[in-house]
Amino acid sequence: MRLELQHLTKRYGDHTVIDDITATLDFPHVLALLGPSGGGKSTLLRLIGGLESPEAGSITVDHEPVPASGKSLRAYRGNIGTVFQSWNLFPHLDALANIMLPLTAVHGRTPDEARSRAEELLERLHLQGHGHKRPAELSGGQRQRVAIARAVAIRPKLLLFDEPTSALDPEMTAEVLEVIADLKSEGRTFILVTHAMNFARTVADQIAFLADGRMAEHGPAGEFFAAPETESARRFLAKVLRY
Amino acid sequence: MTRHHTINAVISVLLGAALLAAVCFAILQALSWNWSGVWAYREVFWRGWLNTIWISAAALVLSVLLGLLAALGRRAPYPALRWLATGYVELIRGTPLLVQLLILFYVVADAVGLQNRYTAGIVILAVFSGAYIAEMIRAGIESIGKSQLESARAIGLTRWQTYRHVIFPQAIRHVMPPLAGQAASIIKDSSLLSILGISEFTLAAQQVNSATYSTLESYLPLAIGYLALTLPVSILARYLEHKFRYET
């Protein structure tokens, strides 16, 4: 997959979160966005997902520009699977209904098709027997796996993970990372924002390092972790990998 | 300390004496009450009471529709609609029902040729109550967390689909308890329609009063008749509040 950013800029009021980023990123399957908090990783992910619109510049995904507004933007969002930090499931719907909703409401599947797809995914994510539970009755790790099932169910061309394990304890983190690693071996393409450095090292093909709203460097994961080019990346890695 | 006790004791005795006097007075009054005059007019009470029920019910249905429209209007993507809805809600909530009744009935209803006073009364009551219901519905909608709306956007739902699948099913839990309370308010507020000559419960009691010259005997059943309607509704509101609080 090829992700191209052209003079991409995003501001919130006076605060420039993404500061004129121009970059071309090629990755076979997995791109990880790393960097210190407040560096612009999540904002970049949201811009790629069409959930925010930039003040200036453009994004293309496999040579197709991310639409700016209207129906085409909604259709674009509908074909991308997004998983948020705090799962964001609908609390009034059970796990099955949460997975089925985008299939029936956005992708025109019949309820029967949607149900069998949802059941298949629940089983694959080791959630059989939990289909009729509401989010409040599930553990954090189970919720996040349901959220992943909802994102995967639509067969998205691209999956986005925004710190998918930040709100989870270590055991649940392991559950969820395992599922994400499985997605890679199934050949899915995704972009991941994470603070789990060791996970990024094993799962990512390509790393983009963001600090202060700029893309300080990007390159193959092996090279980045072995020998970061920039001082800020070196300092960041030294800090997070020390313990 | 002892002084404090003495004062308390004196106050208690005085209050007790006052209460006793009031009870004695009421009994003396009751002995001279004349129920036979009022009893002859029981049909009038009954019809007025029934009118109050259906007028309130009609006003409730209409006001929920108005409230829903106004709540959606305040969240509409078009500024003109937002101003219209906000103007309606603030104008109505900022003025007394009595004033609205007089203006809307004698000026507006007259101007638009609305002749039937019952229809006019119901519409005015619904316009009044709709402004309050709009705020309840708006609060219900706003109780849905931002992260859920974000999720709805992320999976590609349209605005209408977001309302239908995400917002309404959850907002209704928040709206039902205060809405039941508002139903009780409508029943009580409908008494003001008597000034328009609509023969609901209060006007019926007034008519009986002027025909029989019995004040308490006319107005005591009036109070009891309203309580008979509002108490069950209040209990329902309490029940809904309890139910929805523990079911999330």
Tell me the pLDDT of chain B averaged across its residues.
88
**Distance between CA atoms of residues A84 and A143, nearest Å:** 11
Instruction: Please tell me the pTM assigned to this model.
Output: 0.79
Chain B contact set for A73 (CB, 8 A): none
In Å, how far is B111's CA from the nearest CA of chain A? 43
> For position B115, what pLDDT does the model report?
81
> For position A82, what pLDDT does the model report?
92
In Å, how far is B170's CA from the nearest CA of chain A? 7
Beta bridge partners of A12: A15
* Cβ burial, residue B69 (10 Å; 0-12/13-18/19+): middle
> For position A161, what pLDDT does the model report?
93
Chain A residue closest to B146 (CA)? A88
For residues A95 and A101, the answer to whether their CB atoms sit within 8 Å is: no
pLDDT, one tens digit per residue, over B46-93 is 999 999 999 999 999 999 999 999 999 999 989 999 999 999 999 999
Residues above pLDDT 70, as percent of chain B? 95
In Å, how far is A92's CA from the nearest CA of chain B? 7
Here the ipTM equals 0.86
Half-sphere exposure of A219 (CA within 13 A, CB side): 12
pLDDT, one tens digit per residue, over B87-119 is 999 999 999 999 999 999 988 888 888 888 899
Section A45-58 average pLDDT: 92
Probe site for chain B from A46, A73, A90 (most B CB atoms < 10 A): A90
Say whether pLDDT at A172 is over 70.
yes
pLDDT, one tens digit per residue, over B178-226 is 999 999 999 999 999 999 888 888 888 888 888 888 777 888 888 889 9
Q: Residue B134: which pLDDT band, with cuts at 50, 70 and 90?
A: very high
Joined tokens for residue A6: 């052209």
Go through the domains of chain A in sequence order and give each one's CATH number.
Answer: 2-79+159-240 (3.40.50.300), 91-156 (no CATH)
Name the nearest CA neighbour of B41 among B214, B198, B157, B184: B214
Q: Residue A192: which pLDDT band, with cuts at 50, 70 and 90?
A: very high
> For position B31, what pLDDT does the model report?
63
Residues 6 or more apart whose CB falls under 8 angstroms from that of A17 comprise: A10, A11, A40, A43, A213
